[in-house]
Amino acid sequence: MGTAAPTASNGPKNTKNAGDTGNAEATVPVFSVEGLWKVFGPKADRIPGDPELTALGQAELRARTGCTAAVRDVSFDVRKGEVFVVMGLSGSGKSTLVRCLTRLIEPTAGTIAIDGEDVRAMDRGRLRELRRHRAAMVFQHFGLLPHRTVLDNVAYGLEIQGVGRTERRARAAEVVAKVGLEGMEQRRPAQLSGGQRQRVGLARALAVDPEVLLFDEPFSALDPLIRRDMQEEVVRLHREEGRTMVFITHDLQEALKLGDRIALMRDGRVVQLGTPEEIVASPADDYVREFVRDVPREQVITARRAMRPADSAEEAGNGPAVRPDATVAEAIEAVARAGGPARVMDQGRCLGVVDAPALLAVVAGKAAAPAAVAADDASAGSGAASEEPV
């Protein structure tokens, strides 16, 4: 195994660190969810439409009605090519929400569309096709067939689809190699480590070439080193293939590492939806603030957010250059080395300047300078198209 070496991004899209300049395709939603509710319990249907009941907290609702509102009025889009992370503590509703996407759990109210098609209107045949071809799920308990070899486990999804033996084994062999299990094709699951089994689960989902992969806490049972290995595997696969992924985790570090965007859940609601940087730099409420309190801010927040406008053409034209999506930690290094402010450069234009006070303010958790200086405002005198930012 151990194929998780960093790989140059030569795939269709490298969404991580892609800044705000994503292509137009990135705005087409794969999943579109609007006003989604899942209520467990007697006469669950009456809850979403009743303002008096929806105003109740979980405990009161349970006491009054015997019902649990696992998902409460949730709306979001999953964009093509992104890793969309659903994060929250145990019981916050993550699994229920993601299972509703393919109706493994029937929603109580709301709408779900995949590529514009109404999932709630699908008949059984169409649903089967959705789960088999379009949105494959990778579970924590991989559900491997113990008497089958690795190769046949991976080929299983294709077998169900009716793909012929030669073709499915060829395709399975390809995917087995892709997840770093080459040479283990003939082993049985019992002869693999936990991490290797999870790779088989991942390969099985990938073999059917789904439009979107849904991961339900796939790595939470793995030990920390293997877990990191698998996270890197997901990042690598995502970079190389640009596949859309929805990833459930209760682990903040995992969410920050993998997510292009994170939906943070609490008691069935999405309390904040944003990039890792948005969530760490601008928590929506005290709950989120507490959640992200120990995150090393300088490793998540970028120079773009920490910068201020250049004071003068002189300042905009001199000093070391950093990329807008460089982390504050990287910018600190540049500023420390130069002994003065660094310019935030994008394609030869100076967007602004980061200096020691602004960078320290980020580390200290103080509000950074109102970033997002319009590129046009601060480009005076840069003229430095040939300079390579760090």
Ligand X SMILES: Nc1ncnc2c1ncn2[C@@H]1O[C@H](COP(=O)(O)OP(=O)(O)OP(=O)(O)O)[C@@H](O)[C@H]1O
262 vs 301, which CB is nearer to ligand X? 262
The CB-of-15 to ligand X minimum distance in angstroms stands at 25
* Cα–Cα distance list, 373 to 123, 186, 265, 325 (Å): 50, 57, 31, 14
Q: Which is nearer to ligand X, 287 or 370 (CB)?
A: 287
Give the nearest distance from C-beta 220 to ligand X in angstroms.
8
CB 234, CB 243: distance < 8 Å:
no
Binding mask 243-262 for ligand X (x = CB under 6 A): -------x------------
The residue written with tokens 């579109």 in the block is: 32
x-or-dash pattern for ligand X, window 52-71, by CB under 6 A?
A: ----------------x-x-
**Of 91 and 383, which CB lies nearer to ligand X in the complex structure?**
91
DSSP string, 273-291: EE-HHHHHHS-SSHHHHHH
CB of 126 vs ligand X, minimal distance in Å: 24
Residue closest to 324 by CA, chosen among 259, 272, 277: 277
- Contacts with ligand X by CB under 6 A: the residue count is 12
Fill in the per-residue mask, 257 to 296: x = in contact with ligand X (CB under 6 A), - = not in contact. ----------------------------------------
Q: Scanning residues 19 to 48, which ones bind ligand X (CB under 6 A)?
A: 40
Residues of span 77-96 touching ligand X by CB under 6 A: 88, 90-96
Tell me how far, at minimum, the Cβ of 85 lies from ligand X, in Å. Answer: 13
Nearer Cβ to ligand X (36/332)? 36
Distance CA 156, CA 160 (A): 6
Helices 150-160 & 165-178 angle (0-180, nearest 10):
120
Give the DSSP H or E segment for 71.
strand 68-79
Q: Which is nearer to ligand X, 93 or 242 (CB)?
A: 93
* Dihedral over alpha carbons 207, 249, 302, 389 (to 10 degrees): -30
- The pairing of strands 117-118 and 109-114 is antiparallel
Report the interface residues with ligand X, using CB under 6 A.
Answer: 40, 68, 70, 88, 90-96, 250
